[in-house]
Structure formats: structure tokens, C-alpha cells
Amino acid sequence: MRDWLHSVRTLVWKDLLQEWRSKDMLTAMFAFAILTLFIFNYAIELSPVNRAEIASGIIWVVIVFAGTLGLNRSFTAEQDQGCFDALVMAVPDVSAIYFGKMLTNWLVMLFVSVLILPIYSLLYNQSLFNLGFILVLVLGAWCYSAAGTLIAGMTVQTRMRDLLLPILLFPILMPVNMAVVKAAGGILAGAPLVEVQAWLVLLAAYGIIVTTVSILVFEYVIRE
Amino acid sequence: MSSENKKLRFLGLIALFLVLAAFAMVLFYAPIEVNMGIVQKVFYFHVSAAWIGMLAFLVAAVCGALYLNKKQIKYDFIAYSAVEIGLLFTAIANFTGMIWAKPIWNTWWTWDPRLTTMTIMAFTYIGYLLLRRGVDNLEKRARFGAVYAIIAFASVPLTFFSSRLLRTIHPTIFGANSGDMAMTPAMYQTMAVSIVAFTFLFAGLLWHRSILAARESEIDNLRAQTEVAEFGEVQDD
């Protein structure tokens, strides 16, 4: 178990350090998120009246789209350099690779959210700093990276790669989208946490189920 | 081989007979529903097709797990065939549902949980077919297909619950508290026969399609061998 934790930590550290040194992906995700936000601004007239209701949907879509960019890259280094086998040999159990990648993707998504939320608050003069709202985003991002890491592990090894990831991932993520948007929207509209409890339970259940299934099958994704 | 052929032909004949019987029962035996009129009769095949859609994807997930466990390629053939047939029946369920919904709900489409779940499910399994097309290596294709079939099937009930949490106007036939649609015994019998008939039809189609999948893979193998013979060993992705 200690070995396992150690390898997860090393993997996360390796990926974050690699990303921090180039900052390719983070810059791209951040710019993409801002641009999507601007597209929304013109596509949907964000009048002050309806702004509060649809903020949760817009924020989530921006994070999901930017997250897809990140997921697409999460296995490319290993795939292109051919070090999947080396990774498999280096860890005590393959599930450590899944966990490491999932945590990295989760952290990257949260990092993008941390950048996006103040900008949205600033642009639209609507404070999003609400603990409940942030809790929903953290849960949603976990579900997203739990499913996304498994799917990205497969799509990176296919011919269509980036093209395939959203096609496979979005239908599977549909419950997460519904739950995040409904729960976050309710919270932003001033509902207490108890009222959106069902959605939070759904998110937690999704995260647990998908993480468990992924741990069970990830071995078959990565091992030749 | 020939005894298997006989069994398959027998299964086909049973399916044909049952489907014809169900069709006759829908036309002549089941009464016309008081409120909805003749269009309600689409319901028997609609429910049966939706049932086969679910059953097929369950079969795909189970065969996926069996493949990962046993590494026998026949499970992959069955899973792949089941997904293809399941998609067809999901489409039939959606289209018959639309035919019914237009006069009854006065719209071809609503964002009802069952409709959305069915459609999202269909897209999930279209993804399955695309994923397989993107992998050239046969063993890897089977492996990825199995993994995806399992995770996809795990997400289907969650999609259903989440869209159910929103709200529903779809008639609840089974386990309904308030009778959205009261069914007479003749209606129940017709529906039971339809569901059994479609299940046999599915079994027959699945068997045929799996044999076809095995043949396709044989051809692929032969083709790969001739290529190796002509051009020498090629690096596999």
C-alpha cells in the first residue's frame, strides 16, 4: 500500500512537473476556456435577468470543453515515447497509473476552474464564490476525470485519437452534466444544499461507480 | 457443424412463427385502446424493441467481461454483434415511439427521461462502433471493445436516474402507482407474446451475426497473411 501511494504520488508529480515546465496544455486550456466564454457571451444574450440561472451551465460547459483538451494530452507523452510498458513495470499495481493520471487530470481541471471562476465573476459582476458551488464543481471534475482518464487511455491508442475522445466520453458523462448543472444552478439561485442533495448523491455515486469499474478494467487498457 | 446449422435454422423458424403470431395478435386480438385509438397498437412492438435494446447492451457488457476474463475471441464476436443489433432495435423503439407520440403528445419529441436515455444510450454505442473502427490490432480491438461495453453499460442506469430526477411524462406501464394506461388481459397477452417473439428474433439474429463476425475475422486473418507473404512482416501499430 505504501509502495502504491508512493508511485501514485510520483506519477502525479512527474506529470505536473512536466506540464509546469512547458505550460503548453495549461495555456491552451486557459485560452480556450476564455474564448468559449466569449463565444457564449455573444451566442446567448447574457442579460442580467437570466444570467444567474444559466451561469452554472456555461461555467460547466467551459470547464468540460477545456478539460477535453487536457484529457487528450494526458497519455500522449507515454504513447509517443512508447513508455507505457516501462510505466507498467515501474508500479506495484496498474491501478496506480490510473489513479495518478486521474488525480493529475482532476487537479488540472480544478486549476483551470480556479482561473476561470474569478474571471467570470469579474466579467459578469456575479460572485461565484460559494462553497456549495465549488463543492459541486470539485465533485463534477472528479467524475469527469474518472471517466475521462479511462477513455483517454484507450483513444490515445487508436487511429482517430483526439477525434474519438469526446464522442466516447460525452454520452457517458451525460448524468454528470445534468447533475452538475442542476445542482450548481440551484445553489447559485440560493437553494440550500439539502434541496440539491439528490444531485450531489448522484455525483458521488457516479464517481464511485466509474472509479471502481475503471480500476477493475484499466489493466486491460494499458497492458499489451 | 451441420447439427449447429440445424439448430440455428430451427431457432429462425421459431422466431419467424412467433413474430408472425405476435403481429396477428396485435392486429386482430388486442382491443383498440379507448382513449388513444389505433395508434396505441404500435406500443407492443415499441416495448419489445426497447427491451431488446437493453438486453443486447447487457449481453455486450457480459460478453465483454467474459472476454477480458477468458480471452476467447468468440465472446468478442458476440458482444460486437449484440451492440450492432441493439442499436438497430433502439432505433426501432425510438421511431415507433415517435409515431405514437405525435398524435398522443402532439409532438415527435420531448425531453422525457426514457427518450433521452434511449438516445444517449444509442450514441454511447455508436461510440463503441467508432472505437472499434479506430483500432487495427484484432486483440486490442476486442479488449477495448470489452472495456468500453462495460463502462457504457454502467453509465446507462445513471443516465436514466438523472433524467428521471428532472421529470417524466412517459406513461409508466410497469410498477405504476396511478394507472397512466390501463391494460386489459388481452393487451397483456399480446405484449407478452411480442416480447417473447422479439427475444427469439434477437437470439437468432445474434447467432447469425456472430457467425458472420467470425467469418469476417477469418478473412481479415487470411488477408493479413497474404500481405505478410507478399511484403514481409509489417510493424503492427
Q: What is the mean pLDDT of residues A174-198?
A: 87
CA atoms within 13 A on the CB side of A169: 28
Look up the pTM and report it: 0.88
When mean pLDDT is compared across A77-81, B191-195, B210-214, the lowest value belongs to A77-81
B33 in helix, strand or coil? strand
What is the pLDDT at residue B234? 56
Over residues A25-39, the pLDDT tens digits come to 889 999 999 999 888
**What is the count of residue pairs from A and B with beta carbons less than 8 Å apart?**
95
User: CB neighbours (10 Å) of residue B28?
Assistant: 8
The shortest C-alpha distance from A152 to chain B (Å) reads 11
Secondary structure, 3-state, B92-130: HHHHHHHHHHHHHHCCCCCCCHHHHHHHHHHHHHHHHHH
What is the pLDDT at residue B178? 44
Nearest to A117 by CA among A28, A203, A37: A37
Asked if A154 has any chain B CB less than 8 Å from its own CB, the reply is: yes
What is the pLDDT at residue B179? 46
Facing residue for B152 by CB, picked from A160, A172, A179: A172
Residue B96 neighbours by CB under 8 Å, 6+ apart: B42, B45, B46, B49
Contacts of B147 in chain A (CB under 8 A): 150, 154, 217, 220-221
Closest residue in B to A217 (Cα–Cα) = B147
d(Cα B52, Cα B94) in Å, to the nearest integer?
A: 12
pLDDT score of A127 more than 70 = yes
pLDDT above 90 covers a percentage of chain A that reads 54
d(Cα A75, Cα A78) in Å, to the nearest integer?
A: 6
Residue ranges in chain A assigned as alpha helix (H): 2-22, 24-43, 48-73, 76-81, 84-90, 95-124, 131-155, 164-188, 197-222
Q: B143 and A220: CB-CB below 8 Å?
A: yes
Q: B151 and A182: CB-CB below 8 Å?
A: no
The shortest C-alpha distance from B159 to chain A (Å) reads 5
pLDDT score of B177 more than 50 = no
Q: Give the alpha-carbon dihedral of B125, B127, B128, B131, to 10 degrees.
A: 170
A126 in helix, strand or coil? coil
d(Cα A86, Cα A46) in Å, to the nearest integer?
A: 50
Asked if A52 has any chain B CB less than 8 Å from its own CB, the reply is: no
pLDDT score of B19 more than 50 = yes
pLDDT score of B174 more than 60 = no
d(Cα A107, Cα A12) in Å, to the nearest integer?
A: 9
Nearest to A167 by CA among A71, A78, A63: A71
